[in-house]
Structure 1
Amino acid sequence: MNSLSFVQTYFADYTGRYWIAGGWALDLFADRVRRPHTDVDVLVLARDLDLVAATFTDPRPTVENPNTGVQRPWEPGETLTPGPDVLAFPDDLFPAPVRVMLAASDGDDWVYHRGRGILRKPLDEITLTTADGIPYLAPELVLLFKSRSDRPKDTEDFHDVAADLDPIRRSWLHDHIAGRFPDHPWLPTLI
């Protein structure tokens, strides 16, 4: 997990909340590397963009279109939107590319940016931490994001960790997938 140690070191001076997200977060939850990863997803709160800009000045991250990979300069103070906007550090800065995704929040709650503000969880509940102090996103949130895709790696990730979810996490994930996708193929596994 060399890439994660580099991220932890790089974010040591960042005083806002951040989480390892995506497939790496599921690996941290499962306590094993389940598959190869091409990058590291990091989640920060969109409300902390000024702090991101003040902390990471040299080099400053760029804004990357997640669909095309096209990058453009990011100017501090520019409003970015959770979901479509992603920040990227130069690929040669870390052992694997690091992409920073933005999370919506309200006070002490994470807010699902696709759920009209209805779906939320306390920030402390979505935060898990390794013995080495690396913060990572709770697996039910990672899988909720992955449930919107039919990519084989997302389905593989789900099946790799579904049995490790405790009843509360399984129920939460089931209910929040079923509310949007009542025929989703993962639902029978979560019952």
Structure 2
Amino acid sequence: MQSEALSAVRALFDNYPARYWIAGGWALDLFADRVRRPHSDVDVLVLARDLHHVAATFTAPRPTLENPNTGDQRPWEPGETLTPGPDVLAFPDELFPAPVRIMLAASDGDDWVYHRGRGTTRKPLDEITLTNGLPYLAPEIVLVYKSRSDRPKDTEDFHDVADLLDPARRAWLHAHIAPRYPDHPWLPTLS
């Protein structure tokens, strides 16, 4: 799948020495092997424990810390403690075909850990990593993030890829949405 925005991210992360994943709607496009809808940005997930690699790799320009609710940005100082989930790093929008945002993931050893809850939603890093020209998050991981929202694009994303999920991915996603949101509208489709 060709995309000017994804090509820019590939070039940006060419010298990044740690794991990273295309996340969000673009990850679902990579999984579906087609562009399903327009995207306003490219989300890239990195492990919070690898922030020193982010600081060492991205020096000019250095990403800023962005408030995901307001879009306000302030300088990010390497070594500053950031929290998986609410903290987002952003590159200057004018440098890329689409804004590039770095989200942070919690981890425990070789496991990705969902930052919400008690650390019980987790999966081995090797299992959450798929590739289609770029490393991207497995769809069940993207969808567990999206399940907490009722934004129309998240519901559209779910319905666009639900039929592509194999039984193991469906079961994992169901098992990790149902306890938190027992009346979630996606559960019947996943059953």
Q: What's the TM-score once normalised by structure 2's chain length? A: 0.98
The residue number in structure 2 matching 1:102 is: 104
The residue number in structure 2 matching 1:17 is: 19
**How far did residue 71 of structure 1 move?**
0.2
**How far did residue 179 of structure 1 move?**
1.1
SS of 1:67's equivalent in the other structure is: coil
Write the distance in 2 (CA, Å) between the matches of 1:53 and 1:116.
Answer: 28
The residue number in structure 1 matching 2:50 is: 48
Q: Which amino acid aligns with 2:143?
A: L
Write the distance in 2 (CA, Å) between the matches of 1:156 and 1:42.
Answer: 20
The residue number in structure 2 matching 1:140 is: 140
The residue number in structure 1 matching 2:156 is: 156
CA displacement, residues 131-152 of structure 1 (integer Å, 9 cap, x when unaligned)? x3x0000000100110100000
The residue number in structure 1 matching 2:93 is: 91
The residue number in structure 2 matching 1:178 is: 178
Task: Name stretches of at least 5 consecutive residues in structure 2 with no aligned partner.
Answer: none
Aligned residue-pair number: 189
The residue number in structure 1 matching 2:187 is: 187
The residue number in structure 2 matching 1:68 is: 70
CA displacement, residues 138-181 of structure 1 (integer Å, 9 cap, x when unaligned)? 00010011010000000000000000000000000011100100
Runs (4+) off by over 4 Å = none
Task: Name stretches of at least 5 consecutive residues in structure 1 with no aligned partner.
Answer: none
**How far did residue 115 of structure 1 move?**
2.2
The residue number in structure 2 matching 1:124 is: 126
Q: What's the TM-score once normalised by structure 1's chain length? A: 0.98
Write the distance in 2 (CA, Å) between the matches of 1:138 and 1:155.
Answer: 17
SS of 2:46's equivalent in the other structure is: strand
